[in-house]
Amino acid sequence: MLSKIIIDKRSNVPKYLQVTESIIKMIEEGKLLLGEKLPSINEAYLTLKISRDTLIKAYDELKSRGVIAPQHGKGFYIADINTPRHLKVFVLFDVMNGYKAILYRSLVKHLGENCSVDIFFHNYNLKLFENLVNASIGNYGFYIIMPHFNVDVSEIVSKLPADKLLLIDKDVNELKSKYSAVYQDFEKDIYSALKSSRDILKKYKRLFMVTKSEFQFIPDGLVTGFIDFSKEFGIKSGFVEQLSNHKIEDGDVFIVFTDNDLVELIKISHEKGLKLGKTLGIISYDETPLKEVLAGGITVISTDFKKMGETAANLVLTRTPIKISNPCRLIRRKSL
């Protein structure tokens, strides 16, 4: 059996995945049967001349897919011959909302039929985040984590195998292992977006960011980029925690993050007789289909969530340990 396992040292595919694929191919060809015992790590090591760590990772991969199962003191046996290429993926988001739904659908679509996805939500609760990560360890073939916290979560995330880990939407700079990531460069993105709209922002007197929300993660980078832009271009700016407690004036423009704040601001504009895009400006963060038509069109700063899902799926399927910054842009509409 071991002679059928082929290792191509020139291939970019990790050796443990080559072992995994060889065993799966033998199952599909009927050369390995249900209940058949696999060679021990020592037997495979001596025959294939590859490291024990590589073989352990290959067996762990097959175990996480449900292809093989251990019998105490006896080794590993073929446990499933029907779906050997099936990959179980653990996804941990913060919450589900409009743009997360776009991201999730794109991710699942591009992962394909050979992957099953279990999705969980931490709701910005750090303890829940840790508990969900701990409970997932060893039960999945891949882990996609959205670490939406402004604190260091590297100790928690480092418990997951780096070669089966992808961070999505936000990177964790403190995490030093070699893992995959598709992230937003929040500080750079908001600065560049606001700079690209300087020509239209000039007609407004004050620029505000609405920052207090229990239902939306606002990365520190967004606040930093906003401050840097305001200072560099001499724009009078500030932060608002509650729109209801803020005196809105003719010539104000607001950056909002939640749908609740967006709707409240539109209502206030009607009550005060302010015209969107003329005497009151709105920039919303994160694109959704509704914002294209709401109030004649809401200007947004947004990354491409369909692209993020596609890129993430590709990194999972190819096991490519690189970090990719997802593209972001400002979409001008009538609210500005």
How far is the C-alpha of 160 from the C-alpha of 215, rounded, in Å? 27
Domain with CATH 3.40.50.2300 in the chain: 87-183+305-326, 187-303
pTM above 0.95, yes or no: no
Q: How confident is the model at residue 50 (pLDDT cuts 50, 70, 90)?
A: confident
pLDDT band at 14 (very low <50, low <70, confident <90, very high): confident
DSSP string, 167-225: EEES--TT--S--EEEE--HHHHHHHHHHHTHHHHTT-SEEEEE---SSS---HHHHHH
The CATH code for residues 2-78 is: 1.10.10.10
Strand 280-285 to 299-303 pairing = parallel
pLDDT for position 2 = 67
What is the residue whose two structure tokens read 């229990």?
214
Torsion of CA 318, 309, 256, 242, to 10 degrees: -80
pLDDT at position 131 is 98
Measured between alpha carbons, how far is 63 from 76 in angstroms, rounded to an integer? 9
Tell me: the pLDDT tens digits for 273-313? 999 999 999 999 999 999 999 999 999 999 999 999 999 99
Average pLDDT, the chain: 92
Q: What does CATH list as the number for 87-183+305-326? A: 3.40.50.2300
Question: pLDDT digits over 167-219, tens only?
Answer: 999 999 999 999 999 999 999 999 999 999 999 999 999 999 999 766 678 99
- CATH code of the domain occupying 187-303: 3.40.50.2300
The secondary structure of 276-331, three-state, reads ECCCEEEEEECCCHHHHHHHHCCEEEEECHHHHHHHHHHHHHHCCCCEEECCEEEE
User: Which comes out higher in pLDDT, residue 52 or 182?
Assistant: 182
Q: Give the residue from 115, 5, 86 showing the smallest Cα distance to 50.
A: 5
- What pLDDT was estimated at residue 1? 66
Q: Do the Cβ atoms of 216 and 180 come closer than 8 Å?
A: no
At residue 30, what is the residue type? G
Nearest in space to 15 (alpha carbons), one of 58, 62, 60:
58
For CATH 1.10.10.10, list the domain ranges present in the chain: 2-78
